[in-house]
Amino acid sequence: PLSLILDGDPGTDDLLAWMWVLALPKRARVLGITAVNGNVTLDRTAANALAFLDYIGGPDIPVHAGARAPLDRDDPPAGDGAFSETGLGELRLPPSLRRLASHDAVGWMAQTLRAHPVRSVILVATGPLTNLALLRREAPDAYARIDRIVAMGGSFAPLPPNFVRRGNVTPWAEFNFWMDAAAAQSVLNGGVPVLLAPADVTHQLVSDPARLARARALPLFGQEVALMLNAPYHLDKPKFHTDGAFLHDPTAVACLFYPEMFETVRAQAHVVQEGTGLGAGLMLPDGAGGVEVAVRVKDTDAFYARLFDDLAAHYA
Ligand code: BDR
Ligand code: CA
> How does pLDDT run across 221-246, given as a tens digit for each residue?
999 999 999 999 988 999 999 999 99
Cα separation, 215 vs 226, whole angstroms: 5
Cα separation, 127 vs 125, whole angstroms: 6
Q: Which of 46, 38, 41 is nearest to 64 (CA)?
A: 46
> Looking at the predicted structure, is the pLDDT value of residue 296 above 80?
yes
For the chain, where are the E strands, in sequence order? 2-8, 28-35, 63-65, 121-125, 146-152, 194-197, 206-207, 245-246, 262-267, 269-271, 283-285, 291-297
> Looking at the predicted structure, is the pLDDT value of residue 100 above 80?
yes
- The whole-chain average pLDDT of the chain stands at 94
Q: Which residue type occupies 277? A: G
- Give the active site residue among 64, 116, 203, 248: 248
Q: Please, what's the largest Cα pairwise distance for the chain?
A: 53
Task: Tell how far the Cα of 161 is from the centroid of ligand 2, in angstroms.
Answer: 30
Q: Both ends of the chain: CA-CA distance in Å?
A: 22
Confidence (pLDDT) at 214: 98
Q: State whether the beta carbon of 236 lies less than 6 angstroms from ligand 1.
A: no
> Looking at the predicted structure, is the pLDDT value of residue 108 above 90?
yes
- Using DSSP's 3-state secondary structure scheme, residue 289 falls into coil
Confidence (pLDDT) at 86: 86
Q: How many CB atoms within 10 Å of residue 172?
A: 27
Q: What integer is the mean pLDDT of 138-142? A: 98
Q: State whether the beta carbon of 152 lies less than 6 angstroms from ligand 1.
A: yes
234 catalytic, yes or no?
A: no
ipTM exceeding 0.95, yes/no: yes
Q: State whether the beta carbon of 14 lies less than 6 angstroms from ligand 1.
A: yes
Most informative mutation of 18, 40, 126 for ligand 1 (most atoms within 8 A of CB):
126
Task: Tell how far the Cα of 140 is from the centroid of ligand 2, in angstroms.
Answer: 24
Task: Tell how far the Cα of 106 is from the centroid of ligand 2, in angstroms.
Answer: 18
Q: State whether the beta carbon of 168 lies less than 6 angstroms from ligand 1.
A: yes
Q: State whether the beta carbon of 207 lies less than 6 angstroms from ligand 1.
A: no
HEC assignment per residue over 193-252: CEEEECHHHHCCCEECHHHHHHHHCCCCCHHHHHHHHHCCHHHHHHHHCCCCEECCHHHH
Cα separation, 293 vs 177, whole angstroms: 15
| Range from 1-15, 145-159, 186-200 carrying the lowest mean pLDDT | 145-159
| Range from 73-87, 119-133, 200-214, 226-240 carrying the lowest mean pLDDT | 73-87
- Using DSSP's 3-state secondary structure scheme, residue 141 falls into helix
* Residue 149, CA distances (Å) to 78, 235, 279 in order: 26, 28, 25
Task: Tell how far the Cα of 17 is from the centroid of ligand 2, in angstroms.
Answer: 9
Q: Yes or no: say if 108 and 34 are a contact pair by the CB < 8 Å rule.
A: yes
> Looking at the predicted structure, is the pLDDT value of residue 18 above 90?
yes
> Looking at the predicted structure, is the pLDDT value of residue 276 above 70?
no
Give Cα 256 to chain centroid, integer Å.
12
Q: What integer is the mean pLDDT of 277-283? A: 77
Contacts of 299 (CB under 8 A, 6+ apart): 261
Q: State whether the beta carbon of 175 lies less than 6 angstroms from ligand 1.
A: yes
> pTM of the predicted model, to two decimals?
0.96
Position 157 confidence tier, pLDDT thresholds 50, 70, 90 = confident
**Which residue, by CA, sits nearest to atom 2 of ligand 1?**
175
> Looking at the predicted structure, is the pLDDT value of residue 52 above 70?
yes
Q: How many CB atoms within 10 Å of residue 207?
A: 27
Cα separation, 263 vs 6, whole angstroms: 24
**Ligand with smallest separation from the Cα of 9:** 2
CA neighbours closer than 13 Å in the CB half-sphere of residue 144: 5
Percentage of the residues of the chain whose pLDDT score is greater than 90? 79
Q: What integer is the mean pLDDT of 24-29? A: 98
- Using DSSP's 3-state secondary structure scheme, residue 307 falls into helix
Confidence (pLDDT) at 204: 97
